[in-house]
């Protein structure tokens, strides 16, 4: 059980923080909600107290004998501010301390997560941009807002990420309490999911990749401070909080989006499973059964995106490839090493897939195991763990390969 302070700013998204309190509480954590006065105009103190089982105060004078403006920060193992308004970000960046929440932010020595929510113009204003950069430089994790419906008729960047994804992000920060965000300032591209190659208007060739490992890599990279772009191929999962998600379907679409995103990236992780082949011809109408009961397809190879990235890789960029092998033991390792060399990757993550004797098929599962091979010949075995834990272990191997920021 962790001691969590949930700061709530005065924005319409304050109502979403109610679900965040519930998720923390159901996970066994002790949550103290510290709203601003403006936040109480959206959600009243009785709601926060009922959800958390803890008293709610906005100023430093309540229970002054307990010195709450110092004690809350000292005892917290994680501080989450959701929603973080432009005003709150400005106060946190400049060290202003005019209420209980801003005082707590000054005394906290634990990981701090800000989840901004505001109109697009406010998020993009140079003052907010500078305040966010200051907070990130000090070690706070400030996630990028989501894109979607804002207040009134407005739509754009500035929406609070979904509480379930913020909870997942907070869980990763709690798992690494003594670690500063070591990917701050880094731009990361992660591909995820499996491509689909159309056969006719209703059928396609595809694979069983769910995108869960790619999304776990994106989520953990955000928790470690990176700016993350996900190229998602047919993934039916909520967007990871703080990551920009580009959605594609075919291998060619994945190739186009990934090559464009990779130009500015420090790290490219090819966790997606592109189809190796596509139909040579796509029928304009649904293919019907005939009397023969047979259908012969002519297939052509799709581009090897990872190999293309390897050839074009700029100096200092780290390329991580993935290899799904039904072979086992030495044969699987040999296949993965050959792919590592052919793709000119820095690391390749080997997954032995397909179930089989003594193996757990990772497709669609929340768990995975892998062997990571490095271009310098090193081999790291990652035992079965959650995909988020495995993702953190992969980032631990990527980090030493990065030059100075």
Express each pLDDT in 329-343 by its tens digit: 999 999 999 999 999
Q: What is the pLDDT of residues 172-204, one digit of tens each?
A: 999 988 888 999 999 999 999 999 999 999 999
CATH number at residue 64: 3.40.50.1950
Same domain, 64 and 195: no
Same domain, 167 and 247: no
Same domain, 153 and 232: no
In 165-276, at which residue ranges do the beta strands (DSSP E only) sit? 187-193, 197-198, 204-205, 227-233, 243-248, 267-270
How do the residues of the chain divide into helix, strand and coil, expressed in percent and rounded to 5?
Answer: 35, 25, 40
Q: Are 365 and 373 in contact (CB under 8 A)?
A: no
Same domain, 152 and 220: no
Q: Final residue of a domain: which of 122, 154, 175?
A: 175
Q: Are 165 and 115 in contact (CB under 8 A)?
A: no
The DSSP code sequence of 312-363 is HPPTT-EEEEEEEESS-HHHHHHHHHHHHHHTT-SEEEEEE-S--TT----T
Same domain, 289 and 169: no
Let me know if residue 180 belongs to a domain.
Answer: no
- Integer angstrom CA distances of residue 44 from 76, 176, 209, 339: 23, 33, 44, 58
Same domain, 259 and 378: yes
Let me know if residue 145 belongs to a domain.
Answer: yes
Distance between CA atoms of residues 256 and 200, nearest Å: 22
Question: Among residues of the chain, what percentage have pLDDT more than 90?
Answer: 84
pLDDT for 301: 96
Helix (H, G, I), strand (E, B) or coil at 269: strand
Helix (H, G, I), strand (E, B) or coil at 61: coil
Candidate list 103, 131, 207, 234, residue with the active-site label: 207
Let me know if residue 337 belongs to a domain.
Answer: yes
Same domain, 156 and 239: no
Let me know if residue 181 belongs to a domain.
Answer: no
Number of domains in the chain: 2
Same domain, 98 and 194: no
90 pLDDT more than 80 = yes
Bridge partners, residue 379, by sequence? 373
Same domain, 237 and 381: yes
**Residue with structure tokens 């994790």?**
141
CATH number at residue 345: 3.40.50.10300
Q: What is the pLDDT of residues 126-183, one digit of tens each?
A: 999 999 999 999 999 999 999 988 887 888 899 999 999 999 999 999 998 888 899 9
Q: Final residue of a domain: which of 119, 152, 175?
A: 175
Let me know if residue 77 belongs to a domain.
Answer: yes
Q: In the annotation, is 207 catalytic?
A: yes
Rounded to the nearest 5°, which phi and psi values hold at 161? -60, 160
Same domain, 166 and 194: no
Let me know if residue 271 belongs to a domain.
Answer: yes
Same domain, 116 and 194: no
Q: What is the extent of the structural domain holding 65?
A: 3-175
Let me know if residue 220 belongs to a domain.
Answer: yes
pLDDT for 323: 95
Let me know if residue 275 belongs to a domain.
Answer: yes
Q: Final residue of a domain: which of 144, 175, 206?
A: 175
Same domain, 327 and 296: yes
């Amino acid at each position: 059980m962790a001691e969590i302070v949930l700061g709530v700013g005065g924005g319409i998204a304050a109502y979403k923080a109610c679900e965040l309190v519930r998720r923390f509480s159901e996970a066994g954590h002790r949550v103290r909600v510290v709203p601003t006065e403006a936040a109480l105009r959206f959600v009243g103190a009785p709601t926060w107290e009922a959800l958390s089982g803890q008293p709610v105060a906005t100023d430093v004078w309540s229970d002054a004998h307990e010195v709450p403006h110092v004690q809350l920060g000292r005892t917290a193992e994680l501080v989450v501010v959701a929603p973080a308004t432009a005003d709150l970000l400005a106060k946190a960046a400049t060290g202003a301390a005019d209420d209980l929440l801003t005082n707590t932010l000054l005394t906290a020595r634990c990981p701090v997560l800000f989840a901004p929510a505001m109109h697009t113009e406010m998020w993009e204003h140079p003052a907010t941009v500078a305040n966010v950069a200051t907070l990130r430089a000090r070690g706070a994790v400030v996630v990028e807002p989501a894109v979607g419906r804002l207040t009134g008729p407005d739509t754009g960047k500035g929406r609070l990420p979904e509480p379930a994804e913020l909870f997942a992000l907070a869980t990763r920060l709690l798992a690494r309490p003594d670690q500063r965000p070591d990917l701050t300032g880094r731009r990361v591209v992660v591909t995820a999911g499996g491509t689909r190659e159309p056969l006719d208007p209703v059928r396609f060739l595809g694979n069983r990749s769910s995108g869960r490992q790619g999304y776990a890599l994106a989520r953990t990279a955000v928790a470690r401070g990176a700016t993350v772009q996900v190229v998602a191929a047919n993934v039916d999962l909520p967007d990871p909080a703080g990551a920009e998600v580009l959605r594609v379907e075919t291998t060619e679409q994945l190739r186009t989006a990934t090559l464009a995103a990779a130009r500015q990236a420090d790290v490219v992780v090819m966790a997606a499973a592109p189809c190796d082949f596509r139909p040579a011809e796509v029928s304009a109408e649904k293919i019907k059964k005939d009397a023969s009961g047979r259908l012969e397809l002519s297939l052509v190879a799709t581009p090897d995106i990872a190999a293309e990235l390897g050839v074009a890789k700029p100096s200092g960029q780290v390329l991580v490839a993935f290899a799904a092998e039904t072979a086992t033991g030495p044969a699987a390792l040999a296949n993965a090493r050959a792919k590592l060399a052919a793709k000119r990757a820095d690391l390749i993550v080997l997954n032995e897939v397909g179930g089989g004797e003594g193996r757990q098929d990772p497709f669609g599962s929340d768990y995975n195991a892998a062997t990571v091979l490095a271009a310098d010949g090193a081999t790291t075995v990652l035992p079965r763990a959650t995909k988020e834990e495995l993702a953190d272990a992969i980032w631990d191997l990527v980090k030493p390969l990065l030059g100075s920021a």
